[in-house]
Chain A
Amino acid sequence: AQRVTQPEKLLSVFKGAPVELKCNYSYSGSPELFWYVQYSRQRLQLLLRHISRESIKGFTADLNKGETSFHLKKPFAQEEDSAMYYCALGSTGRRALTFGSGTRLQVQP
């Protein structure tokens, strides 16, 4: 069975501090990993996916198959990064994404 674990419900940092949102997954096949974000009063949207190997809004995430992790990182947090972040797992065997429980990031001034 597929599973995504986000161990932190809430992560609070000060502006300018580094951020790391943790995501671990359980899947025996070759995974596709994503980070989705929901800003206040906005709809859930894709932030980045591992296959693109891109940096979006200063965020990066590296797939570590040995540790089955896909942590989201940003070197210097901004107040506008405050949002709910969800890690998600896709696979060829299942047509729908499996989401984690989410982490709320609060960036304080």
Chain B
Amino acid sequence: DVKVTQSSRYLVKRTGEKVFLECVQDMDHENMFWYRQDPGLGLRLIYFSYDVKMKEKGDIPEGYSVSREKKERFSLILESASTNQTSMYLCASSVPTGGNEKLFFGSGTQLSVL
């Protein structure tokens, strides 16, 4: 079974800190995604990557950046954390099938910015 692993389950950071969220998948998937999950808002796409060193902005990229130096790893970076970035962050991966792909999700990182 596909395994998507997020390095931290819970993270507490201070306003202004640089934060790295790491995600690794073990099934050689081309696509990787970062979503944030907020009550009442559902999942919103931050960034995604369809190949090594390739990335595209999602719906809410402001305040975030990403890095994909290796196929299996996709990092989300908060350059200067703010309290409105307190959220559950979900990483996912998939094999591209033209819009019909099945996403495999990690267990999430609950980030609190104080």
Interface residues of A (CB under 8 A from B): 6, 9, 32, 36, 43-46, 49, 51, 86, 90-102
Interface residues of B (CB under 8 A from A): 31, 33, 35, 40-45, 48, 50, 56, 58-59, 90, 92, 96, 98-103, 105-108
Contacts of A49 in B (CB 8 A): 100, 102
Chain A facing B: main interface SS = strand
Residue pair B103, A101 in contact (C-beta under 8 Å)? no
Residue pair B100, A95 in contact (C-beta under 8 Å)? no
Residue pair A99, B96 in contact (C-beta under 8 Å)? no
Chain B residue nearest to A104 (CB atoms) is B39
With both chains docked as a complex, state the minimum distance between the C-beta of A86 and any C-beta of chain B, in angstroms: 6
> Given the known A-B contacts A43-B108, A96-B48, are A51 and B100 also in contact in the complex, defined by CB atoms under 8 Å?
yes
> Given the known A-B contacts A9-B40, A32-B99, A90-B99, are A95 and B105 also in contact in the complex, defined by CB atoms under 8 Å?
no
CA distance A9 to B42 in the complex (A): 10
Residue pair B45, A43 in contact (C-beta under 8 Å)? no
CA distance A92 to B97 in the complex (A): 9
With both chains docked as a complex, state the minimum distance between the C-beta of B105 and any C-beta of chain A, in angstroms: 4
